Chains A and B, each alone.
Chain A
Amino acid sequence: MTANPKLYRIAVRALLYMIVATASVIALFPIAYVFMASFKTTQELLAGGTRLLPRDFTFENYVNAWQAANFSRYTLNSLLYAGIVTVLTVLFATMMGYVFQRKSFPGKRFMLGSFYFSMFVAGAVTIYPVFIIVVQAELHRSLLGLILATLGGSSILTTFLVIGYLKGIPKELDESAIIDGCGTFGVYAKVIFPIITPVVGVVTLITFQSTWNSYMLPLALTLTVPDNRPLSVGVTSLAYVSGPQGGTQWDLLIAGTCMSIIPIAIVYLWANRFFIGGITAGALKG
């Protein structure tokens, strides 16, 4: 070590590169494998083998999934579901964040307390009563029930994010707007919302990702209505269904898996700074 410090430094650096490169290969391999496999022919998929690249490049799996296996419907469902939930969560979280941080009113303590309490259990164990409520209101026939049920939980953590962000913004801004004649809602729409765009970006990404990826709630609410399934549920249900010839339909399963990953991957490549910032903010405030 003391003999040749320069050589030692190079060796350490090489070792670090090897560790990080190995981890990167492990992180990407399953995704790369499935992506490549989605262009293989059905025969090649059934035969297996260690080739990563397809022998004969084909789009047929995507065409079949899109046309025959209802994946066009699942994709539309996912887009509508994640899109509408994201827009409304942004609206709800910013309004609640603003009101909770800036105003005092009867019931505020109870509301905030119930938000904190629910973070322990949210979702996992209350799935059945949620299902009952949606079915009894006859909302399970469209995506509306799923959207409303998701909104019940999606604006909790995000509201806390907005509250945390607003703490750093001086109240003088609101006051000058009030003097200019703005009401409570006017201050929100004209002053607060334009200032908090960074946190709005974070809330948008967190909500879109978690809704696009959500599984348990859409699974339960679409048990009786398969046409309403988003991609995450549609794809995974294929893993346990046998095709007309018997056995798993690998072609559809693999193409569907890729179809559910590609949109979120595009969003990530386009905005990965926000993603990283978003999860950090989420953990610190939550």
Chain B
Amino acid sequence: MRKTMTFRRARTRELVSIYAMVGVPYLLFATFVLFPLLWILRYSFYDYDGVRATFVGLENFRVLIADKVWWKSVVNTLILTFGSLAIGMPLSLLFAVILNGKLKGRVAFRAILYFPVLISLAVVGTIFRIMLAPDNGIINELLIATGLIDKPIYVLATAGTALLTLILVEVWHGMGYNMTLMLAGLQRIPAELYEAAIIDGANERQKMFYVTIPQLGPMLQIIIMLHVLNGLKIFDLVNVLTRGQPFHGSETMVTYIFNYFFEMEGYRAQQGYAASASVVAFLIISIVALTYFKLSRRLSNNE
């Protein structure tokens, strides 16, 4: 009897310390992450301009679905995400494999290729704005000096080249990150597998396709997943480098939402409408993520 009493008192004391330790950080999380999610869900059904809110049911969603600029933003987001994936992943794998070999100076090369990752994507945007400037940017000057072009070009002036530029800058910035993750995966592949492959008479290419890539599989799935989830939320780079211009040609889901929330670039603030766009963006991100989960699971089951 006495024993259970002291036990209970000890447990109470333990619980008090537990909640004291978790309480403050969780409260911050609830205030700045969970509550805003509920706020978004609620106001997506309201006509709300920051002052007055009236319930309008699904009206916001109806307008959103009919808005060409919104769908352009969705398509642009997908182009940027999968474009940088298609160019960046093979490059990352190539450099991971090369720098996993016995090349002299490989540690220094790894450090150099990782360097761009350190820089904020917003600041990366300014760096490339400086370099791409039509009147005095170094890229134009170099192209003219080498005779590749006659007069300065401004790649951010048309939608297609603006998107391509964003993709290439993203690859420039993210390649080192994915390469480093892949290197970590490569270093875990047991050397015996390669020895066995050599005994079986495999050449370099066969080693790549029958040992390296299958062994790297689970790691690649995580890397691609991270890339896609982050890619669909792209904002910083676009907002600095192109501002979604020209004529919304490089607008993305999050820049679209941000502009309606904060009344930027000639948008009129409509927080209720932006909230419904947020909900739809969340649904799109979830659908892409779940489809990817299903596909990658099926792929790994087939092996």
Per-position contact with A for B9-52: 1 when CB-CB < 8 Å, else 0? 00001110111111011101101111111011000000000000
Contacts of A268 in B (CB 8 A): 115, 118
* Interface assignment of B103: CB less than 8 Å from any CB of chain A: yes
Contact: B274 with A95, CB < 8 Å?
Answer: no
Is the Cβ of B40 less than 8 Å from the Cβ of A126? yes
Main secondary structure of the interface of B (DSSP, over half): helix
For A111, give its contact among B22, B137, B254, B275 (CB under 8 Å).
B22
Which residues of chain A come closer than 8 Å to B281, judged between CB atoms? 124-125
Of A55-63, A165-173, A228-236, the one with at least 4 CB within 8 A of chain B: A228-236
Q: Is the pair A185, B142 in contact by a Cβ cutoff of 8 Å?
A: no
Q: Is the CB of A128 within 8 A of B233?
A: no
Among B159-207, those with CB < 8 Å from A are 172, 175-177, 180-181, 184
Q: Which of B25, B31, B261, B286 contacts A127 (CB 8 A)?
A: B261
Q: How far in angstroms is the closest Cβ of chain A from B239?
A: 8
Contact B114 A275 (CB under 8 A): yes
Set of chain B residues within 8 Å of A241, measured between Cβ atoms: none
B226 close to chain A: CB less than 8 A: yes
By CB atoms of chain A within 10 A, which of B17, B20, B133 has the most? B17
Q: Name the one of B110, B129, B131 contacting A239, with C-beta atoms under 8 angstroms.
A: B129
For the complex, give the distance between the alpha carbons of A47 and B119 in Å: 27
Cα A248 to Cα B138 in complex, Å, equals: 16
In the bound complex, what is the Cα–Cα distance between A254 and B22 (angstroms)?
43
> Is B127 interfacial (CB 8 A cutoff)?
yes
> Contacts A50-B138, A128-B271, A129-B39: A114 and B120 contacting too (C-beta < 8 A)?
no
Return the chain B residue nearest A102 by Cβ: B18
Partner of A49 from B120, B126, B141, B233 at Cβ < 8 Å = B141
> Which of A121, A214, A235, A260 is within 8 Å of B285, CB to CB?
A121
Known: A20-B99, A152-B31, A254-B130. A129 touches B282 (CB 8 A): no
Give the residues in chain B near A240, CB-CB below 8 Å. 243
- Nearest Cβ distance between residue A135 and chain B, in whole angstroms? 11
Q: Is B131 within 8 A of A125, CB to CB? A: no
Q: Does A216 contact B (CB under 8 A)?
A: yes
Interface size class of A (residues with CB under 8 A): 35 or more
B14 lies within 8 A of A213 (CB): no
A253 and B98 CA atoms in complex are apart in Å by 37
Note all chain A residues with C-beta closer than 8 A to B262.
128, 131, 220, 223
Please report the C-alpha to C-alpha distance between residue A151 and residue B240 in the assembled complex, in whole angstroms.
25
Whether B226 and A283, one on each chain, are in contact in the complex, defined by CB atoms closer than 8 angstroms, is yes
**Chain B contact residue count (CB 8 A cutoff):** 91
Query: Which residue of chain A is the closest to B140 with respect to CB atoms?
Result: A48
- Chain B residue numbers with a CB within 8 Å of A111 are 22, 26
Q: Does B222 contact A (CB under 8 A)?
A: yes
Chain A 112-151 interface residues, beta-carbon cutoff 8 Å to B? 114-115, 118, 120-133, 148-149, 151
Least Cβ–Cβ distance between B79 and chain A, in angstroms: 18
Which of B17, B236, B282 lies in contact with A183, CB distance below 8 A?
A: B17
Contacting B at CB under 8 A, from A22-62, are 23-24, 26-28, 30-31, 33-34, 37, 45-50
The reply to whether B141 and A50 form a contact with Cβ atoms under 8 Å apart is yes
Top-8 shortest CB links A-B:
A152-B32, A48-B136, A213-B120, A126-B36, A129-B36, A125-B278, A184-B17, A92-B25
23 CB contacts below 8 A, A to B, read: A19-B94, A30-B116, A33-B138, A47-B136, A48-B137, A49-B141, A95-B22, A126-B33, A126-B36, A133-B31, A133-B36, A149-B32, A153-B29, A155-B25, A188-B21, A212-B120, A213-B123, A215-B239, A220-B261, A239-B129, A248-B133, A265-B118, A268-B115
In addition to A121-B285, A253-B126, 17 A-B residue pairs with Cβ atoms within 8 Å of each other are A48-B136, A48-B141, A118-B33, A124-B233, A124-B254, A127-B258, A127-B261, A128-B274, A156-B29, A183-B13, A188-B21, A215-B236, A236-B240, A250-B136, A264-B119, A272-B111, A280-B184
